[in-house]
Chain A
């Protein structure tokens, strides 16, 4: 946010913090309680925000999973009537939207939040309150989308919302408005998060941690953030145009008024294809962390992995029309997009060779995170092969809208993204909780998920080749689709069972897991230098980095490549203060968005209390204007309050505690390649 006050130093009771005279600026006193409900609602700690992201994302992952299982249940046998065609449409729409925007993206963001600042040796992200804003807008956006179930039914036009199906004429009720507005709210969450991560990674690295020493996961966080800030505007504007079509009579996508539905497809996929890489690049980052640790080798071809990640991100903006080959783009455009699509398999292949090269000749231990990582490589490759198949327009014309495509992107998104995210969860669980997850149970979860996933999705290749169309709620007995569908449903339930076992294991391990100690995996990167779980100020000192994979070098490398530690000066460590404003601002946005959903709807349609409301239609005055007013008020309150902050003096024992490096009292005189870190 814009203007800020002088960073008045507030102090409050924290272990080891100083007690200056508290000076309060702002409209009310800042929340100072670090624990309990208030602590969570006002937190600006990137670690707590990361945990909140993960919990909410896993919850939505289960919701989206139940929707998928209902779909599979309906397709278990031919000509079943378990679910009506209408409900089926809402289920696949909500399944896609939920999994992409409310499960996989925020789960990646959870890792960005928790792990990235630790990997670069920072105390927090650049804008801690903005980080909290991202969290709350994400959660409220997810709630807004799912509120549609209680307001006459969820959206039913597919997660891509193709025009003209989304126009008032074909979707007269509020369901589509819920979809439009919640995606806009979620877009704000992604955008503010990304501005924050970009600034943090570029500006707040520990001394000596040059860009080409950055852990791969941090690199992929950076590239993903750039993809988000450049791709989300396209869909945001498309959604605004759609919102104007639905509420104010514009004709952007209205065929009768001259609007072109193809424009929606272009705008949607200009966002939609980079979005695919937004989902997979963080996963690739996680894999690039896990494989070296459990192969006991540095990442093979580090610069090439970084560079190919950047190339994937760049080319990701130039291939959107391969989602539209069958719309008749013309020969030149189709050929160009086919060529670029084939081109993008090169940097992807480079990465796969590098991962294999990392394992080659390594001392491999097949722990649960490693199993998921190896599973990722294999499954992602299978998804990639079918991807190359439909990069060819004539082949694509055969596969368009069949289950072959469903099989393809589930191999990339489950076998790819989800497996990598599970690998990350098993790998960093001790970091976040200080406890281990049992290997026996972890392996059981992996093999159940792996077998269930393949049983569920491999038959879909055959179904698609046989000609089974997507998004159709049933099929006839004599079409020859019965066997694969039956196996697919059994596999889906196996996969679901594996996920349930995982959830149970997480809950069990939180309470009963073995204590992990500081370095359970003999890990390589900076986040493992601190305690498990880390203190709220992350590092008691500023780490001074002299090598890639600094932690591993400090343990096993040459003496001159060991880490050094810069002790805090007399002022101690500066930490940001908690704040109510991010939550208030996102509630304002939520109310305003809700107002745009119900705009023009009869008041009596409101669930439960509709009968008590005065007759008439909702205007912008009930929700939208008050919501925007609250947003504006919160923005000023936010700026008026200022970042605040207090100082922590960690005990000397914590600075000395480990054998990780020499403690320096003053900054090194030797010039460091990247200057100074933030605080």
Chain B
């Protein structure tokens, strides 16, 4: 294959059978797999909620205002993530840094909310991993999602630091885009979790 020095390395990376870069295609495959990870966890939670509807009354435990706000911040960070990807493709490095920092901030706010929420539940509502089946499924599901967010924050921070090094180049826009796919996915999964675990508990059937 030709390697003309002037060509955009991103164009060259697109020269695949599908027209999608390898890294992006692999990320899509990973996200398909991750759907099944979360699907299994969410199913476990919902099955046990149905089998044991009275083991807890979740609205007595949840602090829906706090979780609602931190969920909003997390979802809003998808916007700054999209901004970071777009700026990276346009080569606007300054905007990339701002947008990455904003996304990291959103992720950290969400994580802080979750840490506060978990410690509040444990210390004041006496809901622990081993207190009842609701505690088991709730903490494992939301904790797995929190781990995803934490990995995303670490990853985005690595990108942010990388933009200040001399090694940052044009083709790193693709890496930021792949991370962006991951970040959007983690946000979308949270929409499902927030609805299935939190919001439906407030419905009065």
Contact = CB atoms under 8 A, between A and B. Distances in A.
Contacts of B9: 6
Contact of A250 (B16, B30, B51, B136): B136
B119 interface: no
Interface in A1-32: 2-7, 25
Interface string A177-191: 000000000000001
B18 A202 contact: yes
A25 B162 CA distance: 14
Interface in B76-134: 129-130, 132-133
Contact of B25 (A4, A203, A569, A571): A203
Contacts of A267: 40, 44
Contacts of A251: 130, 132-133, 136
B47 interface: yes
A569 B3 contact: yes
B175 interface: yes
Contacts of A191: 33
B22 A233 contact: no
Interface stretch (B57-65, B67-75, B165-173, B189-197): B165-173
A204 B17 contact: yes
Contacts of B1: 542, 569, 676-679
A678 B16 contact: yes
B81 to A, nearest CB: 14
B22 A678 contact: yes
A236 B2 CA distance: 43
Contacts of A447: none
A7 B15 CA distance: 16
B129 A127 contact: no
A54 to B, nearest CB: 25
Q: Which of B30, B33, B47, B137 has the most chain A CB within a 10 Å cutoff?
A: B33
Contacts of A542: 1
A191 B19 CA distance: 23
A237 B158 contact: no
B3 A237 contact: no
Contacts of A233: 33-34, 36-37, 39-40
Q: How large is the interface on B (under 10, 10 to 19, 20 to 34, 35 or more residues)?
A: 35 or more
Interface string A248-272: 1111100001111001000100100
B93 to A, nearest CB: 15
B31 to A, nearest CB: 10
Contacts of B33: 191, 195, 229-230, 232-233
Interface stretch (A238-246, A452-460, A506-514): A238-246
B17 A263 contact: no
B53 to A, nearest CB: 12
Given A202-B17, A263-B47, A636-B158, A237 B40 contact: yes
Contacts of A677: 1, 16-17
A625 interface: no
Given A202-B25, A240-B140, A250-B140, A230 B32 contact: yes
B15 A234 contact: no
Contacts of A194: 29
B179 interface: yes
Nearest to A666: B2
Contacts of B178: 2
A198 interface: yes
Most buried by B among A3, A251, A257: A3
A267 B133 CA distance: 17
A676 B29 contact: no
B20 interface: yes
A204 B18 CA distance: 9
A199 B26 contact: yes
Contacts of B22: 126-127, 199, 203-204, 678
Contacts of B19: 675
A196 interface: yes
Contact of B3 (A230, A249, A263, A571): A571
A501 interface: no
Contact of A199 (B15, B25, B159): B25
Contacts of B16: 202-204, 675-678
Contacts of A562: none
A203 B55 contact: no
A92 B178 CA distance: 44
B32 A249 contact: no
Contacts of A25: 167
Contacts of A410: none
B140 A199 contact: no
B2 A257 contact: no
A46 interface: no
A5 B158 CA distance: 12
A646 to B, nearest CB: 13
A195 B26 contact: yes
B29 A229 contact: yes
A260 B2 CA distance: 60
Looking at A203, A249, A569, the one whose CB has the most chain B CB atoms below 10 A away is A203
Contacts of B52: 258
A679 B162 CA distance: 27
Contacts of A230: 32-33, 36
Nearest to B155: A2
Contacts of B30: 195, 229
Contacts of B179: 2-3
A258 to B, nearest CB: 5
Contacts of A244: 129, 136, 140
Nearest to A228: B33
Interface string A352-364: 0000000000000
B104 to A, nearest CB: 15
5 contacts: A199-B26, A229-B33, A258-B132, A542-B1, A677-B17
Given A127-B22, A234-B36, A257-B136, 4 more contacts: A229-B30, A233-B34, A241-B140, A569-B3
In the A-B complex, list the 10 residue pairs whose CB atoms are closest, starting with the nearest: A249-B130, A233-B36, A250-B136, A203-B16, A237-B40, A229-B33, A233-B37, A3-B175, A126-B22, A6-B169
